[in-house]
Amino acid sequence: MSSSIFIVAFIVYAVIMLAIGYYYSKKQDSGLTYFLGGRKVTATLIALTFTASWFGPTGAVVSTGKAFQGGINSVWVIAGPTWIAILLITLLFARKMRRLSEAENVYTLAEVFKLRYGNTSSVLMYICVLAYLLALSVATFVGLAKAVSVLTGMSWSIALLSSAAITIAYVVMGGYMSVIISDAIQTILIAVGMVIFAIISMTRAGGFAGIREAMIPNNPGYLSLFHDFTTFLPLIIAFSLGWVASQEIFQRFASAKDEDEAVKGGLWALGINIPLYLMPILAGIGAAVWLPSVIEKMSVQAPDAETLVFWAAANALGGFGVFLFVTIMASIMSSADTFINSASMTVVRDIYFGHFAKESDVDADKMVRISRIGTFIFCILVLIICFAFTSILDALFLGSDILVCGMLVPLVGAFWWKRATAFGANISIIGGVAFVLIDFFLHRMGIQVPWPGYPESLYVGFALSLILFIGGSLLTQKSEESRIAPFYIERKES
């Protein structure tokens, strides 16, 4: 199919996103509005933006490619951990975060840590938050650049810069509300596109019977859900636990109209994500039957897991390929805008107002300008780092490792363990993140280490973080009651 039609689709979609950003740019009147939508967001919008934020390139692109290559057990790479993480984060934090946010005017995880553990912990936390949001933003921009490059014929660099510019523009202009409204639209596009893709792919394959006949003789475990499950277990633990410490989801809970809306939003997101994440798996295992013959007929090299969907959209799906391209853009942009907005919240509130100015001295208009500048600065940093990564999963792994080994333990402790102390939190963060970075760079340099290789190394990092947190807390004096009390506020009865 001609690349020109994909370019037209890209331009039309870009115009729609920019229009949303421009519309909500007129409604920004404070930092509360720019980053939390005035705490008036309904459960429906929370569920939709939650879904769009997390589905992203890993759901639409990586899951399909992994299922194509490995079979139905690829559900454990992204889908399974996502389901577990949504349930855990909703049950553990939805009510508590909404209650704390309103009572103490808390927006970010660094502010949570400042309240519970003090200034040093707050600085360590915002460094971690920015590190993982940088990694996740890079993953989404790399995925978006691959999609646009493959389907429009643009060079990778031009595709990256043009698609990122669109995302940056509507997020900078419209803030949080442009993110969640565009996410709501994108969730609908994603759901429709992935369902149709799965139906087309499974129909061409002849259903499960056709897949069984074609794939099982050479790959007996292809349709076995628990085939080689132990290989996936470290990823399940890393992603499902790590994603519980995601600032962008705490931001959604804090923006809810009330506690009940926060909880319902999380649970409804789970209800949407369970069937949605099955669609790329079905599309991938179906494509394993019919797509190889298309590739052979065209006498081209088979695409890798991260470009499979883009190649199929351009060469094997006819007119639907254009809609699938829009679906892919929706899934990736919806993640990118979330990570950007959440990270800029940290840049503005934790860094700028934490160290350089007092929020009380800034009027509403200047607050919005500062928020937009902070968003833009973060985006430029993301673009620079994008040129160091070519793999979506590499960036995703690094971000998730920082979450599970550096942030998860002290975050859970802040809300659920009264004996937790600042010293325990600090050494837990430092020890866990240091291990992740050392492990990551040593492995990239090919240097042997005395612990298990990735992803089993996460067990070591998480255990180190947990031991340091518990040991450090028990060896130091219990925190003052004034630091503990805000995390155990009783619900107000209406």
Question: What structural domains and CATH numbers belong to the chain?
Answer: 3-392 (1.20.1730.10)
289 pLDDT higher than 80: yes
**Considering the chain, what is the average pLDDT of its residues?**
83
468 contact partners, CB below 8 Å, separation of at least 6: 424, 427, 428, 431, 432
Tokens encoding 161: 């810069």
Which position has the higher pLDDT, 280 or 242?
280
pLDDT tier, 29 (very low <50, low <70, confident <90, very high otherwise):
low
41: helix, strand or coil: strand
472 pLDDT higher than 90: yes
DSSP 40: -
310 pLDDT higher than 80: no
The phi-psi region of residue 378 (left if phi > 0; otherwise alpha if psi is between -120 and 50; otherwise beta) is: alpha
91, 258, 488, 491 from 494: Cα distances, Å: 22, 12, 18, 9
Q: What is the mean pLDDT of residues 454-462?
A: 81
pTM of structure: 0.81
pLDDT tier, 362 (very low <50, low <70, confident <90, very high otherwise):
low
Q: State residue 410's pLDDT score.
A: 94
Which position has the higher pLDDT, 176 or 125?
125
pLDDT tier, 494 (very low <50, low <70, confident <90, very high otherwise):
very low
Rg (C-alpha) for the chain, rounded Å, is 22
Q: What is the mean pLDDT of residues 379-392?
A: 70
Q: Around 350, how many Cα atoms within 13 Å sit in the side-chain half-sphere?
A: 31
Q: State residue 413's pLDDT score.
A: 94
Picking from 201, 197, 199, 221, the residue whose alpha carbon sits closest to that of residue 286 is 201
114 pLDDT higher than 60: yes
6 pLDDT higher than 90: no
Q: Around 295, how many Cα atoms within 13 Å sit in the side-chain half-sphere?
A: 16
Q: State residue 492's pLDDT score.
A: 59
Q: d(Cα 461, Cα 439) in Å, to the nearest integer?
A: 9
Tokens encoding 369: 């300008």
Q: State residue 394's pLDDT score.
A: 59
36 pLDDT higher than 80: no
Which position has the higher pLDDT, 405 or 137?
405
Q: What is the mean pLDDT of residues 475-494?
A: 83
Q: State residue 278's pLDDT score.
A: 94
- 159-162 long-range Cβ contacts below 8 angstroms, 24+ apart: 160/383, 160/386, 161/383
% of the chain residues with pLDDT over 70 = 90
Q: What is the mean pLDDT of residues 242-259?
A: 84
Tokens encoding 432: 């866990």
Residue 15, Cα to own-chain centre: how many angstroms?
24
Q: What is the mean pLDDT of residues 367-387?
A: 77
Q: d(Cα 129, Cα 131) in Å, to the nearest integer?
A: 5
Sole residue written with tokens 């394959």? 205
Q: Cis omega (within 30 of 0) on the bond before 292?
A: no
Q: State residue 389's pLDDT score.
A: 58
Report phi then psi at 354, rounded to 5. -80, -25
% of the chain residues with pLDDT over 90 = 26
Picking from 51, 13, 321, the residue whose alpha carbon sits closest to that of residue 197 is 321
Tokens encoding 226: 């628990």
Q: State residue 424's pLDDT score.
A: 96
68 pLDDT higher than 70: yes
Which position has the higher pLDDT, 103 or 231?
103
